[in-house]
Amino acid sequence: MNQSVYDIVTAIGKGETTARAVVAESLAAIAARDAQVRAFVCVDGEGALAAADEVDRRLAAGERVGPLAGVPVAIKDNICTLNLPTTCASRMLEDYTSPYEAGVVERLRSAGAIVVGKTNLDEFAMGSSNENSALFRTVNAWSPDRVAGGSSGGSAVAVAAGMVPCALGSDTGGSIRLPASFNGVVGLKPTYGRVSRYGLVAFGSSLDQIGPITRDARDAAIVLSVIAGDDARDSTNVRGRPFISGIADGETTPDPFSVGVASECFGEGLAGSVRASVEAGIGRLGELGAETVDIRLPHMEYAIACYYIIATAEASSNLARYDGVHYGHRTSRADDIFELYSHSRVEGFGAEVKRRIMLGTYVLSSGYYDAYYKKALQVRTLIRRDFEKAFEKVDVIASPVAPTTAFRVGEKTDDPLAMYLADVYTTSANLAGLPAISIPCGFDEDGMPIGLQLMGRWFEEDRLLAIAHRFLEGTDYNRLSPLCNPAR
């Protein structure tokens, strides 16, 4: 399907189409294309059509409908849903169905959105390529021999391949922005605390944030205006900061703004094609009236190491609950409680999850806590202070999303460090809790999409989205993948 969220809402509101017709088109696109990319873990065609019929009934009766009435949405499979599995792409939870629904899913349904299915991810959201899923591998929407990016690869591919106009992902260290960049779509990580994490299966509790993946920035603003807001069930949710978007209502021109550029974001390992497109993107921002300012982020070089200490420590703690007793996979070969715990976890978790649990347990252990975890927390404070100082001078900071475009399937699976370095430009925003967005800014020599990252001040998503929207106007960077038009 080629329509944006905005187009669908407008057409349904004017009576030019129906929710059932839109959802049927989405389901047909999934049936035609998903076998080539494997973005979906499950599809709820019957439930989606029933929900669409209810939207149409309410419209016909003159009843109020929400701002996303009739819009098909895909949900990353680490976000809890009623009546659909929540597997986290793990053997540990392959038979699990949540008894409650995530706050963001409740908000989407209340707004009239139609959940059509759940999307694949790296197991427990731990990965940068979608190759760590225990279920199957999702591949890039532009080239099946390239990775989808992770961990929200299924959501990004579902949007890029025109199967849904929007999807939800989660971002702990770049898991929305990286696959958005690799697949040529828009991915927004909101400010930490902006969107409720209630019902998001925890990976790194001080880092995780749910956000939208869409075709364009206006759609991201529309979806964020629905999912953001107060939720007393999430202790990290910031109250009293509603998101009200100008561009969702048609405003397109941001106020004059300045863009910070840090040399630390253009160092060793950055592919020439990515550098050229990102620099051209910064030049386009200048054409839109932005003032470009050189800034320093001196502690950014430590961000990736800092992140992989804090994130693994929090993962070790959060995943301790999967013990074969409360819920999740339970081994059939145990003679005592120790074997029950150990065998259940060995059988249920994949290699990357085990690696991160062991790393996290190590950095939290007696004798190493101060040397690693405490030191990482101190560095995290320095990284946040770097951003605070930079934002005294500029409104947004521009950088690459990733050092390269989507790499080839299998290229980095045997080298965890190389895989981790795919997140080198994204983790700092999570450590500082900043809002950050990936927007398409070009293509490499093989025709693979390239993303430009914009980071903004805390809770200034509206300005970030307005700039992104203006940037994309008049370009064809955010076009759908060739899957949507095989003849091209």
Cis peptide before 151 (omega within 30 of 0): yes
pLDDT reading at 429 higher than 80: yes
Contact 241, 435 (CB under 8 A): no
Q: Tell me which residue has tokens 């059988």.
A: 347
Distance CA 53, CA 84 (A): 19
Could you say which DSSP state residue 298 is in? T
Going from N- to C-terminal start, the domains of the chain cover 5-298+381-484
Contact 480, 440 (CB under 8 A): no
Distance CA 371, CA 54 (A): 57
Neighbours of 392 (CB within 10 A): 8
The predicted-structure confidence for 94-104, as pLDDT tens digits, reads as follows 989 999 999 99
DSSP string across 348-390: HS-HHHHHHHHHHHHHHSTTTIIIIIIHHHHHHHHHHHHHHHH
The predicted-structure confidence for 239-253, as pLDDT tens digits, reads as follows 998 888 877 666 666
Query: Of the listed 151, 181, 245, 316, which one is catalytic?
Result: 151
Catalytic annotation present for 175:
yes
pLDDT of residue 253: 64
In this prediction, residues 204-232 reach a mean pLDDT of 97
Residue 214 C-alpha from the chain's centroid: 10
Which residues, 6 or more positions from 345, have their beta carbon under 8 angstroms from its beta carbon? 92, 322, 323, 324
| Structure-model confidence comparison of residues 231 and 250, the more confident one | 231
pLDDT of residue 246: 77
468's tokens: 């992104």
| Structure-model confidence comparison of residues 302 and 474, the more confident one | 302
Catalytic annotation present for 332:
no
Distance CA 112, CA 457 (A): 31
Which of 205, 191, 200, 285 has the alpha carbon at shortest distance from 242?
191
pLDDT reading at 32 higher than 50: yes
In this prediction, residues 228-240 reach a mean pLDDT of 95
In this prediction, residues 452-476 reach a mean pLDDT of 95
pLDDT of residue 488: 43
Query: Of the listed 175, 245, 438, 481, which one is catalytic?
Result: 175
26's tokens: 């989405």
Which residues, 6 or more positions from 175, have their beta carbon under 8 angstroms from its beta carbon? 121, 122, 125, 128, 150, 151, 152, 169
Catalytic annotation present for 151:
yes
Query: Of the listed 76, 118, 189, 412, which one is catalytic?
Result: 76
Average pLDDT, the chain: 95
pLDDT reading at 478 higher than 90: no
Fold of the 5-298+381-484 domain: Amidase signature (AS) enzymes (3.90.1300)
Neighbours of 113 (CB within 10 A): 27
Q: Which range has the worst mean pLDDT, 31-45, 117-131, 334-348?
A: 334-348
Report which residue type is found at 226. V
**Of all helices (H) and strands (E), which one includes residue 168?**
strand 166-171
In the sheet where 186-189 sits, what is the strand order? Answer: 40-43, 114-119, 72-76, 166-171, 209-214, 186-189, 436-443, 449-456, 396-400, 258-262, 291-295
